[in-house]
Chain A
Amino acid sequence: KAGVTQTPRYLIKTRGQQVTLSCSPISGHRSVSWYQQTPGQGLQFLFEYFSETQRNKGNFPGRFSGRQFSNSRSEMNVSTLELGDSALYLCASSLEGLAASTDTQYFGPGTRLTVL
């Protein structure tokens, strides 16, 4: 079974631009969660999508948004990029999602975003 894939793997943008990242979950998984990983703040939860609906949201500004398609693929968008948005963005998929609490999450390799 193919794992979670994320595209692109690397991205360089300038301040003020916007960016869209893509995540394809494991086949059959309906939940996709997004995380931001930085050296200073560690791994932080952004939001979770389940069956095309945002089910949970972390403590990030509205510049961070996402969506999920009917095939469970998900995209994350960051508008008006700031230098502090430079990070590794990870997505993880699972069968039933975080509401199931004990559902195993499988992470993708991440997209490394650099904002200049």
Chain B
Amino acid sequence: GENVEQHPSTLSVQEGDSAVIKCTYSDSASNYFPWYKQELGKGPQLIIDIRSNVGEKKDQRIAVTLNKTAKHFSLHITETQPEDSAVYFCAAHNSGGYQKVTFGTGTKLQVIP
């Protein structure tokens, strides 16, 4: 089945700096890669996603890049703010796979004011 590795597990950055979180996946049939932000006591919230036919997508301070050949995708947050502090999860979807969606293990991001 699909395996998704996410790094780092924790990340501390100064306010205003950039943060980068990386994920690698194993199943080349995966074709949809969302990123979620989970705050304490809440469910994951979609912040950005990318389809396999696209290499990069940007939404204000957040961007995602996908390298299908290397099977990895990354989340980039620029000009970080304290409210960006949360746990971030990547996921890989495979419509033909058994489990359909596999999540990374999460990255706890702390933005220091």
Contact = CB atoms under 8 A, between A and B. Distances in A.
B74 interface: no
B3 to A, nearest CB: 12
Most chain A beta-carbon contacts within 10 A, residue among B94, B101, B105, B106: B101
Given A104-B49, A110-B43, A48 B103 contact: no
B14 interface: no
Give chain A's interface secondary structure class: mixed
Contact of B93 (A42, A58, A59, A101): A101
A24 to B, nearest CB: 13
29 contacts: A4-B43, A33-B101, A42-B103, A42-B104, A42-B105, A42-B106, A43-B44, A43-B89, A43-B103, A43-B106, A45-B102, A56-B98, A56-B99, A59-B99, A90-B44, A98-B100, A99-B100, A100-B95, A101-B32, A101-B93, A101-B94, A102-B49, A102-B51, A104-B34, A105-B46, A107-B36, A107-B43, A107-B45, A110-B42
Interface of B: 31-32, 34, 36, 41-46, 49, 51, 89, 91, 93-95, 98-106
Given A42-B105, A102-B93, A108-B43, 14 more contacts: A4-B43, A42-B106, A43-B89, A45-B100, A45-B101, A90-B44, A98-B93, A102-B31, A104-B46, A105-B34, A107-B36, A107-B45, A109-B42, A109-B43
